[in-house]
Amino acid sequence: MPEKPQILQRQTVAQSRLFRAEQLDLRFSNGVERRYEKLCSGGPGAVLIVPMLDANTVLMVREYAGGLEDYHLSLPKGAMDRGETPEQSANRELKEEVGYGAGQLDYLKCVHLSPSYMEHKIHVLLARELYPEQLAGDEPEPLEVVPCDIKDLLALSMRDDVIEGRTIAALFLARAWLEQHG
């Protein structure tokens, strides 16, 4: 494994309500110096939940995405509150966005969105043994819950309204985990 670069200087170059950009001046072990910019994490991370209503039905949500300026179908997700475990956060977000709690939560993986220039990470959890329970959420409008068949995952992933990479990755992780662990 290569030696990590030395951080010569770090400074915030931009900040908004949601984002902070940082500039890093680095020196690599071979003496080459470079300036990197990255988007910094504002908290403990986020969770992405794969809620299984039954062995073949995954509950997805249709929501508006500002980056797309359109609606898309994705898995429920949200920021972790300080002091929450990924499991606590996942169960809260599930209740807020889908109207179910989970009797069983299995931690699958922590993934990073774009590690070349972002600190942001998201914990992927599989939710099973769902039971109805609703919590008030922070979405500007009610989310449409859409039951989808996970058996033909390729067809589900190829839908025009399923376009978020982390949702697609989480669905494949969940299906593989379920095939091994039932």
The pLDDT tens digits of the residues spanning 116-158 come to 888 889 999 999 999 999 999 888 888 999 999 999 999 999 9
For the whole model, what pTM was predicted?
A: 0.90
Name the pLDDT band for 114 (thresholds 50, 70, 90).
confident
Report the distance separating Cα 33 and Cα 27, nearest Å: 4
Sheet-wide strand order for 70-74: 70-74, 57-65, 144-149
